[in-house]
């Protein structure tokens, strides 16, 4: 049985007499109710992806969606004469979503029954329920981050990026260089906090400690002049990757304490973690401070340990370690590095602050989001 309490990540629409009024093959003048147009926009702004599973002629139906000005809102549409359960199954597989994260809306009871029989975890709604979908808890996330608002855009960019990679015949590094990657590291604002907390909670393979930092803890750190909470985002010629990393750093005169580094697993292939570490090493070298990084082995973060070791962090002793308070986190190691200046990254442009001269960040300074460039 479908889990009615889980959030819907993707809503799959039927077209005839569901998304629009009328049957396209019988009458080309189908009508899109303004309430449906607004629902599509609202769900998109909440980070709910939307797709199509419709028995129609693909070219005709897609042209009508473009004419109505809503084609851009739908990812991985399946418009054919195949059973809708098969279409929805393929949509879920391509998005890498569990069936329980997918919902389907259709005016025909027989079509909903076919989907429910083959995909029992998919939640099915009748066309009569369309007007109430936006008010249902499964379509109403408590927090909507900036990345959530751009989720469709990021998925569409990802599909284009993957298509380009599939057609690329050269070495991986040459393909990465062709992406025109831009990494931006900036001080976190209140608007970033939900995504920063999510990265500390959900990132496992590229999380140095596995320690979860709540929004309340992050807010306190934002107002602490000793701490820098930094968020990393990535974009390329296909579009945004969104916020992909978080850095929690305590700056002292002689030692910089890297309490947490976590990056999204989906940007590992671009070398994002190595670029962040080289930037931190260079910043510490310019400030004349040693770097000490917290690391706690988990059953999944071997890749992060390799990244630290490859960047020069080791287990040697140094008097600067005695200046750090004893941690209450079990199994925590402290890796030490005497930093040296680093060259800029060769595979991407990096836009980042100068931590040695940046002004102190206070909670009162970040109540409003940073202006969008």
Interatomic CA distance for residues 293 and 318, integer angstroms: 13
Report the SS3 class of residue 178.
helix
> What is the pLDDT, as a whole number, of residue 202?
67
Asked if the domains 10-139 and 168-365 are classified in one and the same CATH topology, the answer is: no
pLDDT digits 0-9 by tens, 93-149: 999 999 999 999 999 999 999 999 999 999 999 999 999 999 999 999 988 888 899
Domain boundaries, the chain: 10-139, 168-365
In CATH terms, the superfamily for domain 10-139 is: HAD superfamily/HAD-like (3.40.50.1000)
CATH (residue range 168-365): 3.40.630.30
| Backbone phi, psi, residue 139, to 5° | -110, 10
pLDDT digits 0-9 by tens, 293-329: 999 988 888 888 899 999 999 988 899 998 898 887 8
The model carries a pTM of: 0.81
Interatomic CA distance for residues 254 and 1, integer angstroms: 58
pLDDT digits 0-9 by tens, 80-100: 999 999 999 999 999 999 999
Neighbouring C-beta atoms of residue 137, cutoff 10 Å: 12
Q: Does the pLDDT of residue 174 top 80, yes or no? A: yes
Interatomic CA distance for residues 308 and 306, integer angstroms: 5
């Amino acid at each position: 049985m479908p889990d009615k309490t889980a959030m819907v990540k993707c809503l799959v629409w039927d077209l005839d007499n569901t998304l629009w009024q009328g049957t396209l093959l019988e009458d080309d003048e189908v009508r899109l109710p303004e309430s449906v147009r607004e629902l599509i926009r609202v769900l998109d702004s909440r980070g709910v992806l939307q797709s199509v599973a419709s028995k129609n002629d693909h070219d005709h139906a897609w042209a009508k969606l473009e004419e109505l000005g809503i084609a851009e809102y739908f990812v991985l549409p399946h418009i054919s004469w195949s059973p809708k359960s098969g279409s929805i199954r393929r949509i879920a597989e391509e998005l890498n979503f569990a069936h329980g994260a997918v919902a389907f809306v259709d005016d025909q009871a027989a079509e909903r029954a076919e989907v429910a029989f083959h995909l029992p975890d998919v939640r099915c709604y009748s066309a009569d329920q369309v007007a109430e979908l936006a008010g249902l808890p499964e379509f109403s996330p408590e927090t909507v981050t900036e990345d959530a608002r751009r989720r469709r855009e990021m998925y569409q960019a990802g599909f284009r990026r993957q298509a380009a990679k599939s057609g690329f015949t050269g070495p991986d590094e040459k393909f990465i260089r062709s992406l025109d990657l831009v990494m931006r590291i900036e001080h976190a604002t209140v608007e970033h906090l939900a995504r920063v907390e999510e990265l500390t909670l959900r990132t496992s393979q590229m999380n140095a400690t596995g320690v979860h930092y709540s929004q309340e803890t992050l807010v306190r750190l934002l107002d602490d002049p000793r701490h820098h909470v930094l968020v990393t985002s990535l974009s390329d010629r296909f579009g945004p990757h969104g916020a992909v990393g978080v850095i929690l750093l305590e700056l002292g005169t002689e030692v910089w304490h890297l309490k947490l580094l976590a990056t999204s697993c989906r940007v590992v292939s671009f070398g994002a973690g190595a670029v962040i570490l080289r930037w931190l090493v260079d910043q510490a070298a310019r400030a004349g401070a040693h770097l000490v990084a917290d690391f706690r082995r988990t059953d999944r973060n071997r890749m992060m340990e390799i990244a630290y070791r490859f960047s020069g962090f080791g287990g040697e002793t140094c008097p600067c370690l005695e200046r750090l308070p004893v941690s209450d986190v079990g199994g925590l190691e402290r890796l030490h590095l005497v930093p040296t200046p680093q060259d800029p990254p060769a595979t991407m442009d990096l836009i980042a602050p100068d931590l040695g001269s940046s002004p102190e960040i206070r909670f009162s300074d970040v109540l409003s989001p940073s202006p969008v460039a």
